[in-house]
Amino acid sequence: MEETNLMQPSNEEEMQHTEQENIVEETAEQQPVDVETNTEEAPVAEPQADEQPTAEEQSASEAEKEPEVNYEGMNREELVAAFTELMQNEVHTIKNRVAALRNRFNELNREVQKAAYEAFLAEGGNKDDYEEKNDGVAEAFHRLYDQYRVRRQQYMEAIEEQKKKNLEAKQGLIEEMRGLIDSEEESVKASLDKFNAIQERWKAIGEVPREQMNDLWQNYHFQIEQFFNKLKINRELRALDQKRNLEQKIQLCEQAEELIMETSMTKAFKGLQELRARWKEIGPVPVEQNEEIWQRFCNATNQIDERRREYYEQRKEELDNNLLAKQALIDKAVELTETTPKSTKEWNDLTAALDELLKMWKTIGPVPREVNEEIWTKFKGMIDKHYEEKKEYFGAIRDEQNENYQKKIDLCLKAEAIAKREDWKKATEELLQLQQEWKSIGSTSRKVSDKVWQRFRGACDEFFAKKGEFFAERRTSEKENLEQKEAILRELKEHQFGDNREENLAAIKDFQRRWAEVGFVPMADKERLHKEFRGEIDRIFEQLKISAREAEETAYRERIRNAAGDARKFVNNEKQELHDKIEKLRSDLNLWENNLGFLANSKQADLLKQEFEKKMQGARQQIALMQAKLRILNDAEKNEKEAADANKDAE
């Protein structure tokens, strides 16, 4: 390696030194000089950019200063506690640990955010409405990290501020040296003492801003040259100073040779940079030994530089091999994800394969910095895409299973309601229809499948058990019921009705009540008896000139007259109930009329229209009957009020 910062004196400089020595010899006869001089070497150039440690070397240096801590086994709360404890140290001593800690926390926090997002969707949330929020642990971590960044920024600003102060201090020393050169009153000894003091103070001052370093250094050495030109130091004093410089440079050579054996490349390079900086601070050595000592130092530095070059070549080879290995994993991931899985097993098998690739990825070392983010983003992107698609697939299955579960719950509720009924034929038909619907519904989650099936099956079993018991008892009593209904029918045919309409209606109502109270009859006689009884009732109504509506109104008046307790309260309750029923029927009429307007002309539509018309006609008849009942209630209320007023007047 060519040392560009430690230049050797040129012929012109040697002639200048010789001239200075001659002048000092002349001065030495007049005034003894018994003090050591400082350097009078040729101007030394400012360190070049390629001699400064790289960002990678600086980072490695900082890493060696810090203890290595493994945060892989910690959870988020433990990471926050570790961060809190770490913040008790000086900020410039924890950089690498903070970075490792933050990477681990972000990885765990992404898993927490992902779980919160999946829970939100599982609870029925819309993914477009989801807002990602940090919990208390994440907020605590982010506050600590913000504090760290502020302290780190303050530390860097303090360093830069100190460099500016160092620059001002060194510029002040240059001005002092310029004043020393311009002064005519100082003796040689006093000037040298001041000169040496300025050099010691210069060395004690720290770094200056990089952009001013070169100009400052050149200005400083220019003033040194000017100082020596002025003093014309004698040969003996210069030789003594050169001897001292030689001893110092021999020590630097020995230290450089020790660094050759240093196992840490980072420490070796950093130590070499310090030695080079100190070499520049030391003045010239005797001319006859200048080349020898310089070559010795160069040999040591070249060996260190060669080791450094080999280290980074080996490091680059390792990074390139790691890149090839990770690229192979990316290619394998691409191959695995080319085909979309069709079943749950295929999705789970693909997940296992990708997880295995991720484990392998973590075992491979780092890759070149310029491609690290790119390949990781590509690999992680494929895995993230897989999990997103898998979540959508299983989400759709869960949605379908949940929908099927709700459908089956509805069937259970309907079956349980049917199980309480005793209209056996219709209930049986409806229950069998529910069983067919159950078969058409898809699967549900395993954890609820058996439970909901047992519930549905239990309702069906309950109904059919009750039905079996009922029909077993019914067959024993049907014959007795047949005899009772035939007796009622004979009595109805033989009954003599008078001229009192209300008595006739009461008698007919009593026959109907008694007929209805008799239970089932054999199926073979059921239709015959019903037609015969209904025909006889219609014949009597026709004979007595009484309509069905009139009969119901008469029965309603009788009910009001026989109302127990508070008659006024009964009337008010009845009126409210009738008003509610009329409002409900009118609402149904409006709905049916609107539905008729949407039916197109077709055979099927005509059948629906007839059904709607039938419903609407029945509703209108019920409304008319209820309005008649309201009039009856109003009359009863009016009569009650008139009776109360009459009693009041009588009093």
- Listing DSSP states for 204-244 in one string gives HS----HHHHHHHHHHHHHHHHHHHHHH---HHHHHHHHHH
Confidence label for 562 from pLDDT (cuts 50, 70 and 90):
low
Among residues 212, 240, 268, the one where a domain terminates is: 240
pTM for this model (two decimals): 0.34
Q: Which two tokens stand for residue 564?
A: 């127990």
Same domain, 578 and 520: no
Q: Is residue 510 part of a domain?
A: yes
Q: Quick one: which H or E segment has residue 342?
A: none
Q: Which residues contact 123 (CB under 8 A, 6 or more apart)?
A: none
Residues 408/444, Cβ–Cβ less than 8 Å: yes
Nearest-angstrom CA–CA distance, 291 and 243: 14
Among residues 513, 546, 579, the one where a domain terminates is: 546
**Which of 502 and 563 is assigned the larger pLDDT?**
502
Q: Is residue 97 part of a domain?
A: yes
Q: Is residue 289 part of a domain?
A: no
Q: Which residues contact 371 (CB under 8 A, 6 or more apart)?
A: 323
Same domain, 514 and 610: no
Same domain, 541 and 648: no
pLDDT of residue 467: 83
Q: Is residue 1 part of a domain?
A: no
Nearest-angstrom CA–CA distance, 489 and 481: 12
Same domain, 34 and 131: yes
Q: Which residues contact 147 (CB under 8 A, 6 or more apart)?
A: 87
Query: For 76-85, 142-151, 412-421, 540-549, which range has the lowest pLDDT when averaged over its residues?
Result: 540-549
Mean pLDDT of 626-643: 74
**Dihedral of the alpha carbons of 126, 128, 134, 135, in degrees to the nearest 10:** -10
Nearest-angstrom CA–CA distance, 138 and 193: 62
Same domain, 531 and 643: no
Which of 370, 359, 263, 360 has its CA nearest to residue 319? 370
Residues 252/275, Cβ–Cβ less than 8 Å: yes
CA 341 to chain centre: 25
Q: Is residue 44 part of a domain?
A: yes
CA 282 to chain centre: 61
Nearest-angstrom CA–CA distance, 421 and 454: 20
pLDDT of residue 232: 60
pLDDT of residue 33: 32
For 128-171, how does the pLDDT look when each residue is reduced to its tens digit (9 = 90+)? 888 888 889 899 999 999 999 999 999 999 999 999 999 999 88
pLDDT over 70 at 614, yes or no: yes
Same domain, 470 and 591: no
pLDDT of residue 553: 62
Q: Which residues contact 579 (CB under 8 A, 6 or more apart)?
A: 630
Query: For 171-180, 233-242, 294-303, which range has the lowest pLDDT when averaged over its residues?
Result: 233-242
Same domain, 496 and 449: yes
Nearest-angstrom CA–CA distance, 4 and 15: 22
Among residues 185, 205, 240, the one where a domain terminates is: 240
For 372-387, how does the pLDDT look when each residue is reduced to its tens digit (9 = 90+)? 888 899 888 888 988 9
Mean pLDDT of 72-78: 89
Q: Which residues contact 497 (CB under 8 A, 6 or more apart)?
A: 504, 507, 540, 543, 544
pLDDT over 60 at 86, yes or no: yes
pLDDT over 50 at 2, yes or no: no
pLDDT over 70 at 251, yes or no: yes
Q: Which two tokens stand for residue 268?
A: 């070796």
pLDDT over 90 at 106, yes or no: yes
Nearest-angstrom CA–CA distance, 165 and 38: 25
Q: How many domains does the chain have?
A: 3
**Which of 43 and 67 is assigned the larger pLDDT?**
67
pLDDT over 80 at 603, yes or no: no
Which of 410, 396, 397, 387 has its CA nearest to residue 446? 397
In this structure, the chain runs to a length of 651
Q: Which residues contact 77 (CB under 8 A, 6 or more apart)?
A: 137
Q: Is residue 235 part of a domain?
A: yes
Rounded to whole angstroms, the maximal C-alpha distance in the chain is: 175
Q: Is 324 helix (H, G, I), strand (E, B) or coil?
A: helix
Same domain, 529 and 608: no
Same domain, 528 and 595: no
Q: How does the average pLDDT of the chain come out, rounded?
A: 78
Same domain, 599 and 642: yes
Q: Is residue 71 part of a domain?
A: yes
Q: Is 455 helix (H, G, I), strand (E, B) or coil?
A: helix
Q: Is residue 33 part of a domain?
A: yes
Same domain, 176 and 137: yes
pLDDT of residue 147: 93
Query: For 80-84, 209-213, 255-259, 467-471, which range has the lowest pLDDT when averaged over its residues?
Result: 467-471
Please give the residue range of the domain that contains residue 516. Answer: 399-546
Report which DSSP code applies to 73. Answer: T
Q: Quick one: which H or E segment has residue 340?
A: none
Nearest-angstrom CA–CA distance, 234 and 34: 10
Angstrom CA distances, 606 to 264, 499, 534, 597, 613, stand at 97, 47, 32, 12, 10
- Residue 286 phi, psi dihedral angles, 5° rounding: -55, 140
Same domain, 123 and 232: yes
